[in-house]
Chain A
Amino acid sequence: AQSVTQLGSHVSVSEGALVLLRCNYSSSVPPYLFWYVQYPNQGLQLLLKYTSAATLVKGINGFEAEFKKSETSFHLTKPSAHMSDAAEYFCAVSKGDSSYKLIFGSGTRLLVRP
Chain B
Amino acid sequence: EPEVTQTPSHQVTQMGQEVILRCVPISNHLYFYWYRQILGQKVEFLVSFYNNEISEKSEIFDDQFSVERPDGSNFTLKIRSTKLEDSAMYFCASTTGQGAREEETQYFGPGTRLLVL
Contacts and interface: CB of A to CB of B under 8 A. Distances in A.
Interface residues of A, number: 27
Interface string A76-99: 000000000000001010111111
A17 interface: no
Interface in B20-66: 31, 33, 35, 41-45, 48, 55-56
Interface residues of B, number: 28
Given A43-B4, A43-B109, A98 B56 contact: yes
Interface stretch (B11-19, B69-77, B79-87, B98-106): B98-106
A44 B101 contact: no
Interface of B: 4, 6, 31, 33, 35, 41-45, 48, 55-56, 91, 93, 95, 100-111
Given A90-B43, A101-B45, 4 more contacts: A43-B108, A94-B104, A96-B102, A99-B48
Interface of A: 32, 34, 36, 41-46, 49, 51, 90, 92, 94-107
